[in-house]
Amino acid sequence: MSVLARRLVIGVAAAALLAGSAAPAQAAAAYDYHPSDADWADCPRLPAGATPDTWSCIFIITVGGSIKLGSITQDISEPLRITVAQGKLADGSTAAAFGSVAGGRMKVPGGLIGKPFEVPKLTDVYVETQGTGKVEAGPIFPTNVGIKIRMIHSLLGKKCYIGSDATPIVLNPEVTLLDLTSIDGTPVFKVAAKDTTFAVPKASGCGLNWGLVNTAVNLRAGLPSPSGKNAADFQWFVRGKSYLELPQLTS
């Protein structure tokens, strides 16, 4: 992400606090999203040595776009919530903290065996995006957020993942559009972002015969897939909140 893009995004935190008296244009909420105090439910506790007045919790809800992992392109049809935070430590360095990645359970096009052989319900596969706890401090805004994707089908078991805590899919989207809008009278930033630099590792933990089923999943999805062969386009609503307004998380 360019320095300019990071500067634009960090404005979310400050401007969201200062824009209460502004009159931004009204916009329809995608997926019936309504800002609420629940947006701050997953803000992380501040790390030891944090300077609270420099920290902001950033809430991002993905409400559209698509993501291409290997040979599978998935439209983002369900909202995905991401919560991260960043600020300074007592020694003057900058740090980031991971809150959560939640939601975004979606049906995979083509299912378990791909078109034209898919059988409705029988071969349907769903994916669920989860966080790995990985996030890094950037010059202005947290970067390199690590995710893993659980693949859900009875034949795949409960531990079938693309990416893992140890080897996550690491996203660092570049902001391409940033507009101030309003939902229910609350200032919210409407953001477009993209990433074509992330790599996608092999699937693991799939089925009772992990080796055989993992191989089948990897063949189906075209994994592993190196940087430059994958892509993500995101449409976000973004809010920021100072930790001075989150005293329960600063002790």
Q: Where are the domains of the chain?
A: 3-245
213-243 pLDDT, tens digit per residue, is 899 899 989 999 999 999 999 999 999 999 9
Say if residue 157's pLDDT is above 60. Answer: yes
- What are the phi and psi torsion angles at 13 (to 5°)? -65, -50
The H-assigned helical ranges of the chain are 3-18, 210-221
- pLDDT at 130 exceeding the cut of 90: yes
Residue 174: HSE in the Cβ half-sphere, 13 Å Cα cutoff: 10
pLDDT at 116: 59
The SS3 call for residue 239 is strand
Three-class secondary structure of residue 19 per DSSP: helix
Span 30-49, average pLDDT: 90
pLDDT given for residue 121 in this prediction: 64
pLDDT value at position 21? 30
Q: Decide if pLDDT at 120 tops 50.
A: yes
* Whole-number percent of the chain with pLDDT over 70: 84
For residue 31, the model assigns a pLDDT of: 61
Across the range 191-212, mean pLDDT stands at: 90
Lowest mean pLDDT among 1-10, 14-23, 97-106, 145-154: 14-23
Task: Name the amino acid, one letter, at 118.
Answer: E
Q: CA separation (Å) from 67 to 64, 85, 93?
A: 10, 24, 33
pLDDT digits (tens, 9 = 90+) for 64-110: 999 999 999 999 989 999 999 999 999 999 999 999 998 878 988 88
How far is residue 190's CA from residue 118's CA, in Å, rounded to a whole number?
37
Return the number of other C-beta atoms located less than 10 Å from residue 3's C-beta.
Answer: 10
CA-to-CA distance for 235 and 30, rounded, in angstroms? 10
Q: How far apart are the first and last CA of the chain?
A: 32
pTM: predicted TM-score of the whole model, two decimal places: 0.84
Q: What are phi and psi of 177, to 5 degrees?
A: -150, 135
Q: What is the pLDDT of residue 103?
A: 84
| The two three-digit tokens of residue 2, written as one number | 């360019």
